[in-house]
Amino acid sequence: MKIAVCSDHGGYELKTKIIAYLGELGHSVMDFGCYSDKSVDYPDFAFPMAKAVATHVFERGIAICGTGIGVSICCNKVKGIRCALCGDVLSAELTRKHNDSNILAMGGRIIGVETAKAITKVWLDTPFDGGRHEGRINKITEFENK
């Protein structure tokens, strides 16, 4: 799978570990920044990454900042993005099954590396259930298109 990844300084360390993990899993990854733990503004990285996912250059995206909140807000401003902030495996599974989320947000200062890896794996491996959830996703898309 082609996956876009970004972070700010608060998520930089976790992002580097998740990128390595994604490589171990056999995914193709593009790092949209940031590239150090020097203080930066998360919108500068979240918006371009989310646009690349929304335009289907990448199948999915992962955004990490200190809490995951800032990047999730930014990503969800981009038409076509359904970004879910997850701090546990069950939320990651259900957001794929029920929401067909295309970007995963995590907090680098909130969760540990092994939890982040488990969340990432479940989120990548879980398919969208469709069915009754499809209509809900369609309503979101219709609203975005107004």
What does the angle CA 73 – CA 22 – CA 5 come to, to the nearest 5 degrees?
Answer: 30
Fold designation for 2-144? Ribose 5-phosphate Isomerase B; Chain: A, (3.40.1400)
The per-residue pLDDT for 112 is 98
DSSP bridge partners of 61: 4, 103
The per-residue pLDDT for 86 is 98
Q: Is 98 a catalytic residue?
A: yes
Structure letter (DSSP) for residue 128:
P
pTM of the model: 0.97
Q: Where are the domains of the chain?
A: 2-144
The per-residue pLDDT for 100 is 98
The per-residue pLDDT for 51 is 98
Q: Is 56 a catalytic residue?
A: no
**Of 56, 74, 86, 98, catalytic:** 98
Q: Looking up tokens 């701090």, which residue turns up?
A: 87
pLDDT tens per residue, the chain (146 residues)?
999 999 999 999 999 999 999 999 999 999 999 999 999 999 999 999 999 999 999 999 999 999 999 999 999 999 999 999 999 999 999 999 999 999 999 999 999 999 999 999 999 999 999 999 999 999 999 999 99
The per-residue pLDDT for 24 is 98
**Of 6, 34, 56, 65, catalytic:** 65
